C-alpha cells in the first residue's frame, strides 16, 4: 500500500501520529506531518486506516 498526505489540508493535529507512530511523525518545527514510511507493509494497515479516520481534515489517502 502507498500512503499520501495532502499537505494543503494537513493542519498538524497529530491524530495520525497517535494512531500510527511508525508511519507518521511531527517534529517541533514541522508545519505539515512527515511520512516516515510511505510504502508500509500490510501489518500497518489497521493503524493507518485508524489514522485516516482520526484525521480531522481527511488529508490521508491509502492506495492499494
Ligand atoms: S491527523 Fe491529519 S491534519 Fe493531523 S497531522 Fe495527521 S494528516 Fe495532518
CA distance 23 to 50: 12
Domain containing residue 32: CATH number: 3.30.70.20
Phi/psi of residue 5, nearest 5 degrees = -125, 130
Q: What pLDDT sits at residue 42?
A: 98
- Count of domains observed in the chain: 1
DSSP 8-state assignment for residue 38: S
The preferred substitution site among 8, 16, 51, 61 for testing ligand 1, maximizing ligand atoms within 8 Å of CB, is 16
Per-residue pLDDT of 1-57, as tens digits, reads 999 999 999 999 899 999 999 999 999 999 999 999 999 999 999 999 999 999 999
* Helix, strand, coil percent values for the chain (each to nearest 5): 30, 20, 55
Q: Which residues line ligand 1 (CB under 6 A)?
A: 5, 10-16, 24, 33, 55, 57, 59-60
**Nearest CA residue ID for atom 4, ligand 1:** 13
List the residue whose alpha carbon is closest to atom 1 of ligand 1: 55
Q: What is the span of the domain harbouring residue 41?
A: 2-63
Amino acid at each position: 500500500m502507498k500512503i499520501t498526505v495532502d499537505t494543503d489540508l494537513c493542519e498538524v493535529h497529530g491524530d495520525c501520529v497517535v494512531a500510527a507512530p511508525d508511519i507518521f511523525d511531527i517534529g517541533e518545527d514541522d508545519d505539515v506531518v512527515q511520512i516516515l514510511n510511505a510504502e508500509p507493509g500490510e501489518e500497518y494497515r489497521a493503524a493507518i486506516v485508524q489514522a485516516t479516520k482520526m484525521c480531522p481534515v481527511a488529508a490521508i489517502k491509502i492506495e492499494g
